[in-house]
Chain A
């Protein structure tokens, strides 16, 4: 192979091979108009949140790292539509879309990104660690694959407590080459716990492409060798993701054990804000942009007569207003006093080890 050809191969347009959903003729019969409109609004809210977060990061108002999810909205929205409020999710460093899909309020999310006292984590977690335990959002981890070993324990707890909740573990394709991925699948299958592993395969672990992560690997096939029910779905189609999740949730609630969903999707932007993503060829990005799941659902809703052009515009305006108000809320929120850096380290002790209560005695 000549150098030129090798280079061409290196820069080849990456796309998922199978399971692209064909546009439906009519509306799905397993989701109501209200549910579908709710999904669409959530997806627009996620997209808008990410776009606004990017602007404010680039303006220097938000600090740290920002890993955005534009392009992946359909995955968590499809999955979370199949969940109840008391079900659990874990998320990742790229997790804004996951937690908004599960129910996070963008007001407190922006407040967290701005490092304010009334953010979800009181300014201590930031973009990569948003959690809301009141609705089962067990937190996002900054370590790739970090929540994979944790999530089977959440599901084990469900099983031991005897409830019919389920645990969903969101992660990316990058996590599938980590050891924790295998240990989590193995233990979940062994214990038959109510967990759903959702791999958002966006084709890149930072800059590293999926086709150089595992050799000619169909992920669902690999996972099925653990005796975990595994399927691959079109992550650019919220309805398709919902259907895969609904089956998995039903299986989990009925005591049928773990499931795995690979949702084939794409990250429209770089790994973090500031990454020019030179490793993602222009034609590849354009091709995926054309498959935008949020725009697709909007087109479908209009085609099915579930939403007029005016209603679509109105929703866009409502979402923009909600985000504007959230940003205003964040900006006008108080900063935590600096000494707050020293609290919440332990439950029963201050950070120096002085007792705060009679805990454990």
Chain B
């Protein structure tokens, strides 16, 4: 971002909208499809607000509640020359079109011996924090990371959201693009100039020397707050955001661990079988000699998301959880 001249502070939501708009202007094959995405409603989190008046309701195609139908239609359109961006209102609803995502979109290129390509982006959002209970607050990214043939992006800042979404739309592979419901109102610097962000390149959100924290999505912000807290105590955190969970830039994470010799992986999704396990396995494989302390996960306990605010608060990973764990790790208490 250093060489960029004109920065504005815009929201994560506006950054995503800019990416969609720019790519729709750039390539007429790009179109949007999903529930409630046309004006005046403009989608559940208002990312597509204003796009249907500009591009029309053919290209901002609002669908009935028919996730299997419209995700499948996205796959079919992508196979035959279009570049659809499909919106799944909640990642929890991905169970309904899962056959189209995991068996069709992900595998057609391979099954056809490389004949097919599926330039499909599935935009969706997850995450807790709005008391929306077990069917509107999950973080299911690990499911998609597990499926060969899918790419998975999970931006934490407006800058990353815009740059990664533009890249996702230009790729010829299916992308699960996972946003976070509590990030849409967050603001950050975004250049006026055109830019894209490559998949498979982590962003070191804060440099430090005592412990590496790899965090995803909104938990990146929690890790950065933890880093602020610990800085007061003389503990220096390096915070790394993978940005794309697959492809995953393991090398930069291992380089960080070489420097800090400690690793904590934090995310909002349940701990068991979560993405942290994959990061840790890869670091153990490629950076075992550099690790001087037990590798730690700071994740939600493996329970469904509860409704009541104080129950939900109890399981969401926050800055205190991360700071406490790092502090104990650095002090040799773990």
Contacts and interface: CB of A to CB of B under 8 A. Distances in A.
A120 interface: yes
Contacts of A148: 72
B72 A150 contact: yes
A150 B75 contact: yes
Interface in B78-98: 78-82, 84, 97
B70 interface: yes
B63 interface: yes
A202 B75 CA distance: 28
Nearest to B114: A344
A132 interface: yes
B72 A152 contact: yes
Interface in A114-160: 119-125, 129, 131-133, 138-139, 141-143, 146-158, 160
Given A183-B69, A186-B64, A346-B109, A160 B75 contact: no
A344 B113 contact: yes
B71 A349 contact: no
Interface string B148-174: 110100000000000000011011110
B31 interface: yes
B72 A121 contact: no
A279 interface: no
Contacts of B75: 149-150, 153
A212 interface: no
Contacts of A31: none
A153 B115 contact: no
A315 interface: no
Contacts of B246: 353
A344 to B, nearest CB: 4
Nearest to B167: A360
Nearest to A352: B247
Contact of A156 (B66, B73, B115): B73
Given A180-B72, A353-B200, A361-B196, A187 B66 contact: yes
B232 interface: no
A129 B99 CA distance: 15
B287 interface: no
Contact of A184 (B69, B81, B167, B168): B69
A345 interface: yes
A139 B118 CA distance: 13
Contacts of A349: 151, 173, 199-200, 247
Contacts of A179: 68
A88 B79 CA distance: 11
A343 interface: yes
A154 B81 CA distance: 9
Contacts of A186: 64, 66, 69
Nearest to B96: A179
A359 B99 CA distance: 27
A255 interface: no
A96 to B, nearest CB: 16
Nearest to B196: A361
Interface stretch (B100-108, B214-222, B300-308, B312-320): B100-108
Contact of B63 (A157, A187, A347, A360): A187
A361 B103 CA distance: 27
A2 interface: no
Contacts of A354: 200, 247
A123 B196 contact: no
Given A347-B171, A349-B247, A154 B69 contact: no
Contacts of A346: 109, 149, 151, 173
Contact of A123 (B113, B170, B199): B113
A151 B69 CA distance: 10
Leading 6 A-B pairs by shortest Cβ distance: A149-B72, A153-B76, A353-B247, A183-B69, A153-B73, A122-B113
Interface string A155-185: 1111011000001000000000001100110
7 contacts: A121-B111, A121-B112, A138-B79, A143-B99, A161-B81, A180-B99, A354-B247
Interface of A: 88, 119-125, 129, 131-133, 138-139, 141-143, 146-158, 160-161, 167, 179-180, 183-184, 186-187, 190, 343-349, 351-355, 359-361
B126 to A, nearest CB: 22
B104 A141 contact: yes
B167 A361 contact: yes
Contacts of A345: 109-110, 148-149
A160 B60 CA distance: 12
A139 B111 contact: yes
A57 to B, nearest CB: 20
Contact of B109 (A138, A152, A347): A347
Given A123-B113, A154-B76, A186-B69, A149 B200 contact: no
B70 A187 contact: yes
Contact of B97 (A132, A149, A160, A161): A149
A360 B199 contact: yes
B111 A125 contact: yes
B146 to A, nearest CB: 13
Contact of B196 (A88, A122, A147, A360): A360
A39 B136 CA distance: 54
B253 interface: no
Most chain B beta-carbon neighbours within 10 Å: one of A125, A151, A343: A125
Interface in B9-68: 31, 58, 63-64, 66, 68
B77 interface: yes
Given A121-B115, A152-B73, A157 B81 contact: yes
B116 interface: yes
Contacts of B170: 359-360
Nearest to A112: B113
Nearest to B78: A153
A187 B109 contact: no
A348 B109 contact: no
